[in-house]
Structure 1
Amino acid sequence: MKIGVASTNPAKTGAVSSALEQLGIHAEIIEQAAESGVSAQPFSIEETRTGAINRAHHVLADFDAAIGLEGGVFELDGRLYLCNWGALVTSDGTVYVAGGAQVPLPVEIEKPLRAGEELGPVMDRYAQETGIRHHKGAIGILTAGKLNRGELFSQIVVLLFGQWQANSD
Structure 2
Amino acid sequence: MKISIGSKNPSKIGAVKSIFACDEVISMNVPSQVSNQPFSDSETKEGAIHRATGSLTASSSDIGIGLEGGVMNVDDKLYLCNWGALVTRDDIIFTGSGARVLLPEKIGAELQKGIELGDVMDDYAHKKHIRKKEGAIGILTNNQVSRKEMFIHVVKLLYGQWEYWKQN
Q: TM-score under structure 1 normalisation?
A: 0.96
Q: CA RMSD in A?
A: 0.6
Structure 2 residue identity aligned to 1:121: D
Which residue of 2 is the match for residue 6 of structure 1?
Answer: 6
- How big is the shift at 1:18? 1.1
- How big is the shift at 1:124? 0.5
Which one of 88, 91, 94 corresponds to residue 90 of structure 1?
88
Is the Cα contact below 8 Å between 1:87 and 1:97 reproduced in 2? yes
Tell me, yes or no, if structure 1 residue 148 matches structure 2 residue 146.
Answer: yes
Structure 2 residue identity aligned to 1:30: I
Structure 1 residue identity aligned to 2:46: T
Is the Cα contact below 8 Å between 1:20 and 1:158 reproduced in 2? no
Which residue of 1 is the match for residue 131 of structure 2?
Answer: 133
Structure 1 residue identity aligned to 2:4: G
Paired residues for 1:1-169 under 5 Å: 1-21=1-21, 26-61=22-57, 62-169=60-167
Secondary structure of the residue that 2:20 maps to in structure 1?
helix
Structure 2 residue identity aligned to 1:165: E
> What is the count of residue pairs matched by the alignment?
165
- How big is the shift at 1:81? 0.2
Give the whole-Å Cα distance in 2 for the aligned partners of 1:49 and 1:7. Answer: 15
Give the whole-Å Cα distance in 2 for the aligned partners of 1:166 and 1:20. Answer: 15
Give the whole-Å Cα distance in 1 for the aligned partners of 2:108 and 2:162. Answer: 36
Give the whole-Å Cα distance in 2 for the aligned partners of 1:143 and 1:59. Answer: 31
Give the whole-Å Cα distance in 2 for the aligned partners of 1:147 and 1:51. Answer: 23
Structure 1 residue identity aligned to 2:92: T
**Identity of matched residues, %:** 50
- How big is the shift at 1:20? 2.1
Give the whole-Å Cα distance in 2 for the aligned partners of 1:9 and 1:129. Answer: 17
Is the Cα contact below 8 Å between 1:43 and 1:74 reproduced in 2? yes
Structure 1's unaligned 5+ residue stretches are: none
Give the whole-Å Cα distance in 2 for the aligned partners of 1:91 and 1:39. Answer: 26
Structure 1 residue identity aligned to 2:12: K
Q: TM-score under structure 2 normalisation?
A: 0.97
